[in-house]
């Protein structure tokens, strides 16, 4: 099961003890000797195996980068921690954008047609729309990248994104003639919302706020969502954390603080540091709203911090099924080529709790089967909790 790892709020300047074992991999000095036939004996069995492949294999040796990435993955797999992972540059960039809650782009939604062509749908008043891109235009090229059905969508998306204010050159074509147009577009800041909201179906007194990922912008997005729902008449609220795999630790703590008056949210400890606690410094702006929280088996990591902290402080019941159970912290290290290594380096817990979450998660106050297509069970449980007739 894929789970978005809980990321720490800062990056360490170096990998210190743990990553000293991987320096040879990330620096590339294992790969070049293999390809050049001058390997040293730091890893003699690996050296022997790669030499055999080079001298006897029917296929050509992979590129240096592909071989190097494979070695890193092998080292991470041998390390034996399910949340310590290696992420290639394209995926690392897209994931970083999600956690920041914004990116530099041209303001388009992309979608493939039945033949695999990439179509563009510009947002209103976006940089793309201002230069003439229209709904359904076919994207042909981004800088030197030829956009074909065989190119992965994440590669295309990463090529379009970049630093705000910088230019990106694209070639697109209008249907049905598909005459190419080459334009240069200045990237602007494009928000990536982490929160969606609506009035509960059939119950306009209840506002439904769903958090999809715990990003840097999440706490402020929640405040805006609650304000908008109150303007539409909502007086009671459901905080939906189902299928939320986590995100940034600080944002998770700050989200919990929105709803609490005082106390400790969580405590944490890294292998080489003293314990640290995260307190509520002042009453949160949403500390008084009537609230229930919805969870399921895919509620994990930073999402569990929010759910568990609100439960521990008696602020909200949990409605749904037991959560995933992930109480470790990953530090994220960007490598030289903009790939990244996510390393499990610490653990968090709720004050006074000796046992961690691993293997059992957080148990709901009110058990409700998770039906993604029918929220009526959650709404009815919330109505009963709020004593709504």
For the segment 287-333, what is each residue's pLDDT rounded down to a tens digit?
A: 999 999 999 999 999 999 999 999 999 999 999 999 999 999 999 99
- Residue 157 lies in domain: 103-191
Residue 170 and residue 156 in contact, taking contact as beta carbons nearer than 8 Å: no
Residue 107 and residue 97 in one domain: no
Residue 121 and residue 209 in one domain: no
The Cα–Cα gap between 348 and 346 comes to: 7
Handedness of CA 148, 99, 128, 338 (dihedral sign): negative
Which CATH number does the domain housing residue 133 bear?
2.30.42.10
Residue appearing with tokens 């603080």:
257
Structure tokens at 13: 């300047």
Residues 250-260: tens digit of each pLDDT: 999 999 999 99
Domain boundary among 164, 191, 218: 191
Residue 92 and residue 109 in one domain: no
Indicate if the pLDDT at residue 23 is higher than 60.
no
- For residues 47-72, b (16+ Cβ closer than 10 Å) or e, as one string? beebeeeeeeeeeeeeeeeebbbebb
Residue 317 and residue 227 in one domain: yes
Q: What is the average per-residue pLDDT within 258-268?
A: 97
Nearest 5 degrees, angle CA 212-CA 216-CA 220?
80
- What pLDDT score does 354 carry? 66
Residue 255 and residue 328 in one domain: yes
Residue 43 and residue 115 in one domain: no
Indicate if the pLDDT at residue 95 is higher than 70.
yes
Residue 369 and residue 233 in one domain: yes
Domain boundary among 152, 170, 191: 191
Indicate if the pLDDT at residue 284 is higher than 70.
yes
Domain boundary among 161, 191, 221: 191
- What pLDDT score does 357 carry? 86
> Does this model's pTM top 0.85?
no
The Cα–Cα gap between 285 and 205 comes to: 20
Q: What are phi and psi of 89, to 5 degrees?
A: -55, -45
Residue 150 and residue 260 in one domain: no
Residue 185 and residue 200 in one domain: no
Count how many domains the chain has: 2
């Amino acid at each position: 099961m894929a789970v978005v790892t809980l990321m720490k709020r800062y990056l360490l300047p170096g990998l210190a003890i743990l990553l000293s074992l991987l320096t040879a991999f990330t620096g590339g000095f294992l790969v070049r000797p293999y390809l050049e036939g001058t390997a040293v004996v730091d890893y003699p069995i690996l050296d022997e195996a790669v030499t055999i492949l080079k001298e006897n294999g029917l296929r050509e040796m992979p590129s240096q980068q592909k071989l190097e990435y494979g070695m890193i993955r092998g080292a991470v797999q041998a390390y034996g921690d399910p949340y310590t992972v290696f992420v290639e540059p394209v995926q690392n960039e897209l994931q970083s954008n999600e956690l920041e809650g914004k990116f530099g782009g041209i303001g388009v939604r992309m979608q493939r047609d039945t033949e695999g062509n990439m179509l563009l749908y510009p947002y209103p008043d976006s940089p793309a729309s201002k230069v003439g891109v229209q709904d359904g235009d076919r994207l042909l090229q981004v800088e030197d990248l030829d956009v074909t059905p065989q190119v992965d969508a994440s590669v295309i998306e990463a090529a379009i994104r970049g630093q705000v204010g910088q230019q990106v050159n694209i070639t697109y074509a209008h249907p049905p003639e598909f005459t190419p147009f080459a334009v240069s577009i200045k990237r602007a800041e494009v928000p990536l919302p982490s929160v969606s909201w609506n009035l509960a179906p059939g119950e306009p007194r209840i506002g439904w706020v769903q958090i999809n990922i715990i990003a840097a912008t999440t706490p402020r997005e929640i405040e805006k969502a609650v304000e908008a729902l109150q303007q539409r008449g909502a007086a009671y609220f459901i905080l939906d954390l189902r299928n939320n795999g986590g995100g940034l630790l600080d944002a998770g703590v700050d989200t919990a603080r929105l709803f609490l008056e005082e106390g400790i949210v969580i405590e944490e400890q890294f292998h080489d540091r003293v314990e640290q606690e995260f307190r509520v410094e002042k009453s949160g702006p949403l500390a008084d709203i009537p609230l229930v929280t919805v969870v399921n088996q895919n509620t994990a990591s930073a999402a569990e911090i929010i759910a568990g902290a609100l439960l521990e402080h008696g602020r909200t019941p949990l409605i749904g099924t037991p959560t995933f159970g992930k109480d470790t912290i990953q530090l994220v290290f960007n490598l030289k080529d903009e790939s990244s290594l996510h390393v499990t380096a610490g653990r968090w817990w709720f004050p006074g709790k000796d046992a961690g979450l691993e293997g059992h998660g957080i148990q709901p106050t009110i058990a409700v089967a998770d039906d993604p297509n029918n929220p009526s069970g959650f709404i009815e449980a919330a109505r009963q909790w709020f004593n709504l007739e």
